[in-house]
Structure 1
Amino acid sequence: MADPIKHKRLKKELRLLDVYAIATGATLSAGFFLLPGLAAQQAGPALILAYAIAALPLFPAMFSILELATAMPRAGGVYYFLDRALGPAWGTIGGLGTWLALILKVAFALVGMGAYIALYMPELHIVPVAVITALALGGLSLFGAGKGGRLQILLVIGLLVLLVVFFGAGGMQLQPAHFEGFLASGVDAILSTAGLVYISYVGVTKVASLSEEVKDPERNLPRGVILALTTAVGVYLVGTTIIVGLVPQAELQGSLTPVAVAADYALGETGKLLLSIAALLAFISVANAGMMSASRYPLAMSRDHLLPSVFRRLGRFGSPTNAILVTLLVLVATIVFFDPVKIAKLASAFQLLMFALVCAAVIVMRESRIDSYDPGYKSPFYPWMQIAGIVFPMILIVEMGTVSIVFSLALILVSVVWYLSYGKPRVARTGAIFHVFERLGHLRYQGLDTELRGILKEKGLRDDDPFDEILLRSQVIDLEEECSFEAALTIAAHKLEKVIPLTSDEIVEQIMVGTRIGATPVTRGVALPHFRSTAISQSEMVLMRARNGVRMARYNPQTLEEEGSQRVKALFFLVSPDSNPSQHLRILARIAERVDEESFADQWLGAQQRNALKEALLQSDRFLLLCLDDETPAHELIGRPLYDVVFGEGCLVAFLTRRGKTFVPNGRTLLLEGDRLTVIGDETALNDIRRRYQPDGATCSTEQSLEE
Structure 2
Amino acid sequence: MKDIFRTKSIKTLIKETEGEKSLKKSLGAFELTMLGIGAIVGSGIFVLTGVAAAKFSGPALVISFIVAGLACAFAALCYAEFAAMIPVAGSAYTYGYAALGEVWAWIIGWDLILEYAVAIGAVAIGWSGYIVNLLKNMGINLPASLVASPYEGGIVNLPAMLIIGVISILLIIGVKESAKFNNLIVAIKLVIIFLFIFLAVGHVKPANWQPFMPYGFNGVLQGAAYVFFAYIGFDAVSTAAEEVKNPQKDLPKGIIASLLICTVLYIVVSAILTGVVPYLNYMNTAAPVAFALEQIGINWGSALVSVGAVFGLTSVLLVMMFGQTRIFFAMSRDGLLPEVIGGINKKTKTPVNSTIIVGVATAIIAGFLPIGIVSELTNIGTLAAFIIVSLGIVVLRKKRPDIKRSFKCPLVPITPIISALACFGLILQLETATKIRFVVWFALGIVVYLAYGRRHSTMNNEIRDEKAGEGKSCEATITN
Q: TM-score, normalised on structure 2? A: 0.86
Match of 2:191 among 149, 161, 181: 161
Q: Does residue 45 of structure 2 align to residue 15 of structure 1?
A: no
Show the counterpart of 1:26.
39
Q: Does residue 124 of structure 2 align to residue 114 of structure 1?
A: no
Residue type at the aligned position of 1:143: I
Show the counterpart of 1:43.
57
Q: Does residue 355 of structure 2 align to residue 324 of structure 1?
A: yes
Show the counterpart of 2:164.
134
Shift of 1:115: 3.6
Residues 378-421 of structure 1 deviation map (CA, whole Å, 9 limit, x = unaligned): 11111100011111111111111211211221221122111111
SS at match of 2:225: helix
Contact 2:332 2:340 in 1 (8 A): yes
Contact 1:115 1:256 in 2 (8 A): no
In structure 2, list runs of 5 or more residues that go unmatched: 149-156, 465-480
Show the counterpart of 1:543.
none
Q: Does residue 273 of structure 2 align to residue 243 of structure 1?
A: yes
Taking only the aligned residue pairs, the percentage that are identical comes to 26
Shift of 1:342: 3.1
Show the counterpart of 1:363.
394
Show the counterpart of 2:254.
224
Shift of 1:321: 0.8
SS at match of 1:255: coil
Contact 1:23 1:225 in 2 (8 A): yes
SS at match of 2:376: helix
Counterparts of 1:120 and 1:324, CA distance in 2: 29
Counterparts of 1:266 and 1:90, CA distance in 2: 52
Residues 276-331 of structure 1 deviation map (CA, whole Å, 9 limit, x = unaligned): 11111110000001111110111101111101111222113110111111111111
Shift of 1:75: 0.7
Mapping of 1:537-548 within 5 angstroms? none
SS at match of 1:113: helix
Match of 1:71 among 62, 85, 99: 85
Show the counterpart of 2:243.
213
Residues 424-464 of structure 1 deviation map (CA, whole Å, 9 limit, x = unaligned): 1233758xxxxxxxxxxxxxx999xxxxxxxxxxxxxxxxx
Contact 1:99 1:294 in 2 (8 A): yes
Residue type at the aligned position of 1:349: I
Mapping of 1:176-191 within 5 angstroms? 176-191=206-221
Residues 181-211 of structure 1 deviation map (CA, whole Å, 9 limit, x = unaligned): 1112111111111111111112112111111
Show the counterpart of 1:477.
none
Show the counterpart of 1:413.
443
Q: Does residue 424 of structure 2 align to residue 394 of structure 1?
A: yes
Contact 1:35 1:197 in 2 (8 A): yes
Counterparts of 1:350 and 1:113, CA distance in 2: 22
Residues 239-294 of structure 1 deviation map (CA, whole Å, 9 limit, x = unaligned): 01111111223422231110101223456111001111111111000000111111
Contact 2:121 2:374 in 1 (8 A): no
Q: Does residue 158 of structure 2 align to residue 144 of structure 1?
A: no
In structure 1, list runs of 5 or more residues that go unmatched: 431-444, 448-708
Counterparts of 2:421 and 2:81, CA distance in 1: 19
Contact 2:343 2:351 in 1 (8 A): yes
Distance 1:357 1:67, change over 3 A: same
Contact 2:200 2:276 in 1 (8 A): yes
Q: Which has the larger radius of gyration?
A: 1
Residue type at the aligned position of 2:351: P
Q: Does residue 334 of structure 2 align to residue 304 of structure 1?
A: yes
Q: Per residue, is there more helix in 1 or in 2?
A: 2
Mapping of 1:492-641 within 5 angstroms? none
Counterparts of 1:143 and 1:428, CA distance in 2: 29
Show the counterpart of 1:285.
315
Counterparts of 1:178 and 1:47, CA distance in 2: 13
Residue type at the aligned position of 1:26: A
Show the counterpart of 2:468.
none
Contact 1:334 1:340 in 2 (8 A): no
Match of 2:366 among 327, 331, 335: 335
Residue type at the aligned position of 1:98: L
Contact 1:26 1:290 in 2 (8 A): yes
Contact 1:312 1:323 in 2 (8 A): yes
Q: Does residue 227 of structure 2 align to residue 197 of structure 1?
A: yes
Counterparts of 2:67 and 2:349, CA distance in 1: 41
Shift of 1:343: 2.4
SS at match of 1:353: helix
Mapping of 1:67-106 within 5 angstroms? 67-106=81-120
Contact 1:68 1:362 in 2 (8 A): yes
SS at match of 1:142: helix
Show the counterpart of 1:57.
71
SS at match of 1:218: helix
Counterparts of 2:292 and 2:133, CA distance in 1: 14
SS at match of 1:306: coil
Contact 1:58 1:202 in 2 (8 A): no
Residues 531-553 of structure 1 deviation map (CA, whole Å, 9 limit, x = unaligned): xxxxxxxxxxxxxxxxxxxxxxx
Shift of 1:120: 3.5
Shift of 1:139: 0.4
Counterparts of 1:415 and 1:260, CA distance in 2: 41
Counterparts of 2:437 and 2:357, CA distance in 1: 22
Contact 1:306 1:423 in 2 (8 A): yes
Mapping of 1:643-658 within 5 angstroms? none
Aligned length: 433
Residues 640-666 of structure 1 deviation map (CA, whole Å, 9 limit, x = unaligned): xxxxxxxxxxxxxxxxxxxxxxxxxxx
Q: CA RMSD for the aligned pairs? A: 2.2
Shift of 1:171: 1.3
